[in-house]
Chain A
Amino acid sequence: MKSPYGMLLSAIVMCLTALPAAAHHSVAVNFERGEPIEIRGTVKEVHMRNPHSQYVVTVRGEDGAATDWFVEWSDRNSLVRRGVDLDLIKPGDTVTFTLWPSQRLPNVGYFVQALLADGSVYRDCGFVQYREAVANSAKFRCEEGTRDPAQRATQ
């Protein structure tokens, strides 16, 4: 798309009253998108699927009791389209997840980012960044979504 269209579209969007959440369920309705929380645990299950991906993470409390957390993420197709490496987190990995907690259910949160065992941050750059790249005919890259050395070289 030519840049004048992109500029015009940006102006239009600024005038629009509402953008929905970046997932098919309303994230705004189901999750508290204020101050995120952190959990650290062992990844038990990985499900990259539509309409929602999910990690099941076993978190141990101070008393040693284990609790399973359900970490919801975007749909698989969107993550693939935005170049996110779906295999970076595997069962057995120890990961610190940053989450928006569920408004209604305990031990449920929406994925914001993950701190991997090697200290790198893993996240999806998101629909809005992808959409703006498309609108401005720019190549979309999300370095935080992959461990590809070429992609992460600019970090």
Chain B
Amino acid sequence: MKAPIRTSVLVLASCAFASTVRAAGTRADLDGVWLFYGSQVPKDPGLTPAGREKLEQYDPLRDDADTDCKPVTFTNIMHTPSPPIEIRPHDGYIEINYEFMDVHRRVPLDATLANAPYTVADHPHMGRSVGRYESDELVIETEDVEAGYLDTLGFPGLPQSAQMRTEERFIPDGDRLRVVVTHHDAVYYVAPMVMTYEFIRVDTEIMPWGCTLEGANYDKRLEAAEPK
């Protein structure tokens, strides 16, 4: 091999190696179990008239899907402080296991939303997701969600339409992780609505949740008593 060609090959090989190391480093940063450490929720989410009407209709006793052991949205899950989140990068996909409600999510990388499977196989209402790396950040986009309520915890009663598109940006920094979630939904919001979550790395394992309807809903109490 002539010297210029050999040099070029070496340079290309070095670039490829550097790229591999960078990708591996990114995955290693995200890999682990994370505990909620706080959130930033807009005081004014910028609702359209339809959004305000939907918010006013919200009844936490009846409109919180969690009460049917049905996880509401990833935004809502991340507002559930105690149960941790496990992130495991793999070749070609990201695995995210949320202890809350035993939600096991698989996010394909370098795929298209149109062809993506439901991100949680047994909860199609949570939509289809695809992911990609941008520098050190993992970006997940989600569409095809079920219309209803986006959040029953951080800002109870925030609505979502079936047109909502969500971008989650996972930004690791050592033992800290920031997730910036941008919700695009022109039906209910006048502009993209952003929530930010902070997490810390924890040395623990995800535990089975085993949601029980009796522990989740208020039916028994509603049967026993008329509301005040």
- Asked if B60 and A26 make an inter-chain contact with CB atoms under 8 angstroms apart, the answer reads yes
Nearest first, the 3 A-B pairs at minimum CB distance are A78-B82, A49-B215, A16-B38
Task: Determine if B64 is an interface residue (Cβ-Cβ < 8 Å).
Answer: yes
Task: Determine if A17 is an interface residue (Cβ-Cβ < 8 Å).
Answer: yes
Query: Which of A22, A51, A68, A75 has the most chain B CB atoms inside 10 A of its CB?
Result: A51
Query: Quick one: which of B176, B207, B220 contacts A9, CB cutoff 8 A?
Result: B176
Task: Determine if A117 is an interface residue (Cβ-Cβ < 8 Å).
Answer: no
- Asked if B221 and A105 make an inter-chain contact with CB atoms under 8 angstroms apart, the answer reads yes
| Chain A residues in the interface with B (C-beta under 8 A) | 1-2, 5, 9, 12-13, 16-26, 29-30, 47, 49-54, 68, 70, 74-75, 77-78, 80-81, 102-108, 127, 131, 134-135
Provide a sorted-by-A list of 23 A–B residue pairs whose CB atoms are within 8 angstroms: A2-B175, A12-B198, A13-B198, A17-B41, A18-B39, A18-B40, A20-B39, A20-B81, A20-B153, A24-B66, A25-B66, A29-B156, A50-B212, A50-B215, A51-B101, A52-B215, A70-B224, A81-B207, A104-B61, A105-B228, A131-B36, A131-B37, A135-B200
- Asked if A81 and B204 make an inter-chain contact with CB atoms under 8 angstroms apart, the answer reads yes
Provide the bound-state CA to CA distance between A53 and B61, in Å: 17
The residues of B that contact A103 with a CB separation of less than 8 Å are: 228
Give B102-124 as 1s and 0s: 1 = Cβ < 8 Å from A's Cβ atoms.
00000000000000000000000
Task: Determine if B83 is an interface residue (Cβ-Cβ < 8 Å).
Answer: yes
- Asked if B220 and A70 make an inter-chain contact with CB atoms under 8 angstroms apart, the answer reads yes
- Asked if B156 and A49 make an inter-chain contact with CB atoms under 8 angstroms apart, the answer reads no
The residues of A that contact B100 with a CB separation of less than 8 Å are: 24, 51
* Contact A13-B215, Cβ < 8 Å, known A1-B201, A20-B154, A105-B227: no
* Contact A5-B216, Cβ < 8 Å, known A12-B198, A135-B37: no
- Asked if A107 and B212 make an inter-chain contact with CB atoms under 8 angstroms apart, the answer reads no
- Asked if B82 and A21 make an inter-chain contact with CB atoms under 8 angstroms apart, the answer reads no
Residue of A whose beta carbon sits closest to that of B43: A17
Provide the bound-state CA to CA distance between A105 and B222, in Å: 8
Residue of B whose beta carbon sits closest to that of A21: B153
- Asked if A80 and B207 make an inter-chain contact with CB atoms under 8 angstroms apart, the answer reads yes
Give B191-228 as 1s and 0s: 1 = Cβ < 8 Å from A's Cβ atoms.
00000001011101001011110111010111011111
* Contact A75-B224, Cβ < 8 Å, known A13-B198, A19-B39, A29-B60: no
Provide the bound-state CA to CA distance between A70 and B218, in Å: 10
The residues of A that contact B101 with a CB separation of less than 8 Å are: 51
Query: Quick one: which of A1, A30, A70 contacts B60, CB cutoff 8 A?
Result: A30
The residues of A that contact B215 with a CB separation of less than 8 Å are: 47, 49-54, 75
The residues of A that contact B152 with a CB separation of less than 8 Å are: 25-26
- Asked if B82 and A22 make an inter-chain contact with CB atoms under 8 angstroms apart, the answer reads yes
Residue of B whose beta carbon sits closest to that of A48: B215
Task: Determine if B35 is an interface residue (Cβ-Cβ < 8 Å).
Answer: yes
